[in-house]
Amino acid sequence: MPDHDYVPLMFQAQVEGRSQIQRLIPSQKANQQAYDWAKQWQEACDDQTVPQFGAQVKTRECRFTWRMVTNSGQDAGVIRPVIGDRGWAYFPGSSMKGAFLRACQQSCPADEVRYFCGGQGKGGELHPGVLRFHGGYPKNAEWLDDSLVDVVHPQEDWQSKNQGNHSAFIQFSLHQPTFVFGISSTKPLSDDQWEVVWKIWQAALEKGLGSRVSAGYGQIATHTGNKLTGFALSGVGQASKLINGQGEFRSNIFKAALRGHTRRLFNGITDEETADRITKQLWGGH
């Protein structure tokens, strides 16, 4: 056995013959290396010690309705979560502050934004914010029992353009996790101020947390605002499946269907370049 086979896939280069997890390999229906990568992570993770915040940190938890994905940026071509203490999936405090700041700017006056999050005063002087964002961890080890292997399979070019290509790519995401997020303050805050803080954080959560939020990822169960419409489905039809054949209802199929229909409608009334531009304006794109 080559020496590199003793090294966990997480620490091997993403090259042919080593850790080839960034793409779906059609010839390997049941033995995708991505599943080995995820299994090694799950087995090595300390499932007996749940990360805890300090006593000075106030916490709130939320449950995600489907999948949550964050991009650590640590592997070329692979979207996978940030890995924190004892191998646990972790939502960084810097990302948490960014989400909070955007929601705060939309609902609070400038002086309150500076007080909570920091910023520049009218004279250009810097004001550090009083809040400290400690990030978030899964509430318990249940996330280790679910499949972490997810798939990204863009098909717009193949379905709506001549000679278009399509490929499936691997990503790693958590299925219906419950996360606990922590915030502390360098100065004492009143109960009313903390109520404002958590109201802002709730608004941030309702916009979606993590990556690919427009396709259904990172949406919370206690969503109360900014909802355009809602509906229920029932009946019998084709079911989406993961790479290993396990069935899973996937919210991103709704965005894919709407995006595809949008492109087909524009294809019938304008040129390809304009159809591309308007479709990306509505649904996002590179």
pLDDT tens digits for 113-129? 999 999 887 777 888 99
- Contact present, 66 and 219 (Cβ < 8 Å): yes
- Name the more confident of 78 and 191: 191
Report pLDDT digits (tens) over 62-89.
999 999 998 887 776 788 899 988 899 9
pLDDT at position 18, please? Answer: 75
Residues in CB range of 24: below 8 A, 6 or more apart: 32, 151, 167, 168, 169, 170, 243
- Name the more confident of 137 and 3: 137
pLDDT at position 269, please? Answer: 92
Report pLDDT digits (tens) over 257-266.
888 889 889 9
Across 32-41, 149-158, 234-243, which has the greatest mean pLDDT?
32-41
Tokens of 5: 């086979």
pLDDT category of residue 160 using cuts at 50, 70 and 90: low
Which runs of consecutive H residues, i.e. helices, occur in 119-251? 156-160, 191-206
Lowest-pLDDT choice from 68-77, 157-166, 223-232, 269-278: 157-166
Report pLDDT digits (tens) over 176-189.
999 999 999 999 99
Chain mean pLDDT for the chain: 86
- Contact present, 264 and 160 (Cβ < 8 Å): yes
Report pLDDT digits (tens) over 217-251.
999 988 776 677 777 778 777 778 777 778 888 88
pLDDT category of residue 162 using cuts at 50, 70 and 90: low
In angstroms, the CA 132 to CA 57 distance is 9
Q: How many residues does the chain have?
A: 286
Lowest-pLDDT choice from 1-10, 74-83, 107-116: 1-10
In angstroms, the CA 148 to CA 153 distance is 16
pLDDT at position 79, please? Answer: 86
pLDDT category of residue 254 using cuts at 50, 70 and 90: confident
- Name the more confident of 119 and 17: 119
What CA–CA distances, in Å, run from 215 to 46, 102, 149, 171, 259? 31, 20, 17, 14, 11
In angstroms, the CA 283 to CA 195 distance is 34
Average pLDDT over residues 32-61: 91
3 state DSSP class of 50: coil
In angstroms, the CA 277 to CA 38 distance is 37
Identify which of 147, 172, 166 has the alpha carbon closest to the alpha carbon of residue 19: 172
